């Protein structure tokens, strides 16, 4: 970080990420591999530093969303296996192979395109088959009437030339949500996943070295679903309702500073839209953070931040680069003070609820403009 600016920054604890990695590892059955999900810049924590840590700590696999994210890691010296969760256009098959990346295959038509491209190059592309067992997103359809077609298409994909089907996976829709209905749905997804794998083996003689389905929710709530590898993202960063169960630690603290403090008489309107009007003499701080830094505008007039040993309410519309904080009750707060937006004193989950969203979105929203400062 440019120390001269001291505007807004995100403190990231690499030791906490390491602690979380090790705690999750300890909870897994012997021999189970660990894939760390580092898509979206490792949920805002910095894909390269987090991947370097995981590589050094002995994780088995990484996952990213797209080819660009994978290339960033390879260029940064990450040599461990990387799975691309999303689609990559077949024109990039050569690059995928050259960079030793593992591509998700979610339909027979796509398998055929990758196979044709790899054949032309005279090389082999490593792939993981993705099943749609109830998320209704990417993946071979295999539920209900689609079972036989799905199994047939997976077998056909795996038998295509120049593809190496190393793994098979699926993704859960409600593994992180409590309640009987959600549990039944997750168990049903898991059953379908294992049924398809068994049918693919019986009917096609295809066996997968790595079967994986457990995202963060399943790692905590359904340890029996670990199979050959788990695939946590949020949990690794110490967030989610379940992270306490494994003794995990949050890894990001978003901090800004008080740029200036002004005194207003009662009846003064504050910020765009004049959505807050002072009811008394008010000592108002201007903070160097706005929605362009990742503080959602929907939190305007609805949140508090931690400063000078206390909590102060945010007032008026949150602007692109600034917002206002009522410091009337905290006379000790001064210009230049650090203000914790979320972190150990201000729970990100509570802030997310107030914003009508989830901690995932607040973490990913911390923008490129915000320097990451690493605690090693
Ligand atoms: C994002 C993602 C994960 C990680 O999910 P968490 O809830 O953060 O653990 C795992 N698998 C797939 C396919 C994903 O897209």
For ligand 1, what atom is nearest to the CA of residue 216?
A: 9
Max CA separation in the chain (angstroms): 79
pLDDT for 244: 87
Residue nearest to atom 15 of ligand 1 (CA): 85
Out of 6, 21, 39, 239, the active site residue is 39
185 catalytic per annotation = no
Q: How far apart are CA 261 and CA 247, in angstroms?
A: 39
Given a contact cutoff of 8 angstroms between Cβ atoms, the answer to whether 248 and 273 are in contact is no
- For the chain, which residues score pLDDT lower than 70? 1-4
**Residues 94-112: b if buried by 16+ CB within 10 A, e if exposed:** eebbeeebbbbbbbbebbb
Residue nearest to atom 13 of ligand 1 (CA): 171
Out of 114, 130, 272, 291, the active site residue is 272
pLDDT for 2: 55
- Measure CA 15 to chain center: 18
Ligand 1 pocket, residue 186 CB under 6 Å = no
pLDDT for 242: 83
Ligand 1 pocket, residue 216 CB under 6 Å = yes
Among candidates 251, 195, 255, 186, which has minimal Cα distance to 214? 186
Nearest-10 Cα torsion for 53, 58, 60, 61: 10
Ligand 1 pocket, residue 318 CB under 6 Å = no
- Measure CA 264 to chain center: 42
272 catalytic per annotation = yes
C-alpha pair distances (Å), 166 with each of 28, 100, 129, 300, 316 = 21, 13, 8, 48, 54
Distance of CA 191 from the midpoint of ligand 1 (Å)? 19
Q: What angle do CA 342, 360, 130 make, to 5 degrees?
A: 160
Given a contact cutoff of 8 angstroms between Cβ atoms, the answer to whether 114 and 91 are in contact is no
Ligand 1 pocket, residue 253 CB under 6 Å = no
Distance of CA 74 from the midpoint of ligand 1 (Å)? 21
pLDDT 10s digits, 281-331:
999 999 999 999 999 999 999 999 999 999 999 999 999 999 999 999 999
Q: Which helix (H) or strand (E) holds 254?
A: strand 252-264
The residues facing 34 across adjacent strands are 230
pLDDT for 4: 62
Residue nearest to atom 7 of ligand 1 (CA): 216
pLDDT for 118: 98
pLDDT 10s digits, 237-282:
999 888 888 999 999 999 999 999 999 999 999 999 999 999 999 9
């Amino acid at each position: 970080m440019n120390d001269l600016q001291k505007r807004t920054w995100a403190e990231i604890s690499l030791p906490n990420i390491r602690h979380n990695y090790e705690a999750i590892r300890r909870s897994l059955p012997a021999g189970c591999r660990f894939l760390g999900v580092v898509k979206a810049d490792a949920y805002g924590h910095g894909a390269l530093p987090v991947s370097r840590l995981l590589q050094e700590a002995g994780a088995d696999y990484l996952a990213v969303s797209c080819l660009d994210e994978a290339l960033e890691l390879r260029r940064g010296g990450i040599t461990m296996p990387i799975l691309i969760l999303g689609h990559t256009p077949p024109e990039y098959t050569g690059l995928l192979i050259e960079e030793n990346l593992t591509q998700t295959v979610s339909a027979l038509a796509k398998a055929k395109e990758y196979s044709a491209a790899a054949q032309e190059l005279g090389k082999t592309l490593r792939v993981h088959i993705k099943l749609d067992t109830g998320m209704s997103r990417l993946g071979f359809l295999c539920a209900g009437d689609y079972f036989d077609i799905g199994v047939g298409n997976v077998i056909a994909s795996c038998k295509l030339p120049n593809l190496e089907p190393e793994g098979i996976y699926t993704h859960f829709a409600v593994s992180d949500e409590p309640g009987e209905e959600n549990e039944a749905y997750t168990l049903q997804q898991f059953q379908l996943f294992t049924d398809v794998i068994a049918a693919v083996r019986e009917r096609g003689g295809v066996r997968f070295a790595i079967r994986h389905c457990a995202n963060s929710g399943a790692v905590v709530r359904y340890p029996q679903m670990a199979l050959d590898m788990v695939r946590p993202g949020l949990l690794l960063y110490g967030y989610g309702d379940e992270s306490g169960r494994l003794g995990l630690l949050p890894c990001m603290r978003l901090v800004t500073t008080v740029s200036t403090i002004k005194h207003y008489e009662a009846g003064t309107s504050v910020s765009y839209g004049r959505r807050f009007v002072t009811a008394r003499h008010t000592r108002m701080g201007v903070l160097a953070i706005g929605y362009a830094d990742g503080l959602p505008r929907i939190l305007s007039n609805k949140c508090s931040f931690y400063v000078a040993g206390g909590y102060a309410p945010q007032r008026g519309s949150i602007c692109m680069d600034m917002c206002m904080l009522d410091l009337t009750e905290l006379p000790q707060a001064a210009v230049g003070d650090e203000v914790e937006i979320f972190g150990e004193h201000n729970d990100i989950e509570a802030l997310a609820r107030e914003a009508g969203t989830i901690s995932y979105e607040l973490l990913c929203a911390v923008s490129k403009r915000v320097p990451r400062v690493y605690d090693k």
